[in-house]
A and B are shown apart, each in its own frame.
With several copies, the nearest count.
Chain A
Amino acid sequence: MIDKTVASLEEAVAGIFDGATVMIGGFGTAGQPAELIDALIAQGAKDLTIVNNNAGNGEIGLAALLKARRVKKIICSFPRQADSHVFDALYRAGEIQLELVPQGNLAARIQAAGAGLGAIFTPTGYGTLLAEGKETREIDGKHYVLEYPIKADFALIKALQGDRWGNLVYRKTARNFGPIMAAAAATTIAQVSEIVPLGALDPEVIVTPGIFVQRVVAVSGAASARVA
């Protein structure tokens, strides 16, 4: 019997190695797998490359991972926020690398990795600083930039419910990057509010099929909706 559920957060993040590329779901705190990030901090992996839309808020979650000096590089679209002081300080001190990617290119590059494409021509960013040095091409009168897939060794994501085959459904705008990161990582680890029996999720409404998920761990339901 295949059972992708694991009993603890420790087990969920086991094996994340130094130097790994780790995608972390979430748009701000919505969909951010805060408990998995805390477990990753406790686990100790360092020199990580993190892929996330943002670069952490306040002192918790991703910001706490940065503060613990585990992150060598971050690939994101919107690092600077009102409460991104942990990132800001590391960046100004030259202690973290930043690859800034327009949000839609971030999404498209993650999707390209999951879908096995070698590269894509995207119109976003053409003619801007963020396309400097990149190959461009005019196709049908419109200008495009060649962008490459972003793959990951691990993805940490948050969903509402999961089953032992790894099928997932999400809640409202906490869905955001979860489904596309799940497909782009070799090992996808999902924290869910509830593990449900196989067959409990309607096959028409499963958002992430279990093929994209390797580990599922339950965290307390209350955590799912809190402002992490």
Chain B
Amino acid sequence: MNKLTRDQMAERVARDIPEGSYVNLGIGLPTKVANYLPKDREIFLHSENGLLGMGPAPAPGEEDPELINAGKEPVTLLDGGCFFHHGDSFAMMRGGHLDICVLGAFQVSKKGDLANWHTGAPDAIPAVGGAMDLAIGAKKVFVMMDHLTKSGECKIVERCGYPVTGIDCVDRIYTDLAVIDVTPDGLVVLEMVEGLDFDELQRLTPVPLTLAA
């Protein structure tokens, strides 16, 4: 089968973001989605550190250490963008004003619990940032992750083994193998990569899947 590359995953997610959406792209893999947003759609990117209308990375030499994104990388601001303080920024998230947020994950449970902030290892230094706010705040939470860990375990699980970031919060999962909706009736497969059939996907995934009608 043709597993999606990380860029292909980002491109796939980007396709599902409608014009006019207010979107937060999490640190890491989700950041790549910005590269694939169709140029003919106006989409509003939010960054937790107080900007809306975030533009692409600046040209080399044009970086401004006071114009950064949540990953602390230099960015730009589009015409029509604006700045605000952290209280307002997280009110946007917590208050349900973002249409979509895209997050990376260690695991997603069949009920839509998300684990993406902490491995739970006893010697790990925990850091949560805005992950828990994003998980519960946006109207739709999209997760992007590999379907399997490097050692071959499925990241879609019955119950999260890692400490959760939010309960019952994921709406859709984009993996390198499939696009899967989390619904009240369970996980519904919308798409699979070329060369993958449903039985094989189900074999790899330890929770019941159904195929979208």
Contact = CB atoms under 8 A, between A and B. Distances in A.
A77 B50 contact: no
Interface residues of B, number: 59
Contact of B50 (A79, A98, A173, A201): A173
Contacts of B164: 127-128
A165 B22 CA distance: 11
A130 B19 contact: no
A104 B133 contact: yes
Q: Which 7 A-B pairs have the closest CB atoms?
A: A199-B79, A104-B133, A104-B90, A116-B94, A115-B91, A127-B167, A116-B95
A122 to B, nearest CB: 7
A108 B94 contact: yes
A39 interface: no
Contact of B85 (A78, A88, A128, A177): A177
A102 interface: yes
Interface residues of A, number: 76
A77 B127 contact: yes
B25 to A, nearest CB: 15
Given A116-B137, A211-B22, A173 B82 contact: no
Interface string A78-122: 111100000110011000001011111111101101111100001
B44 A179 contact: no
A38 to B, nearest CB: 18
Nearest to A197: B79
Contacts of A81: 127
A173 B66 contact: yes
Interface stretch (A7-15, A25-33, A42-50, A62-70): A25-33
Interface of B: 19-20, 22, 42, 44, 46-53, 64-68, 72, 77, 79-98, 113, 118, 123, 125-133, 136-137, 163-167
B166 A177 contact: no
B129 A78 contact: yes
A92 B113 CA distance: 30
Nearest to B49: A27
Interface string A187-226: 0000000000011010110110111100000000000111
A175 B128 contact: no
A163 interface: yes
B65 A175 contact: no
Interface in A1-19: 1-2
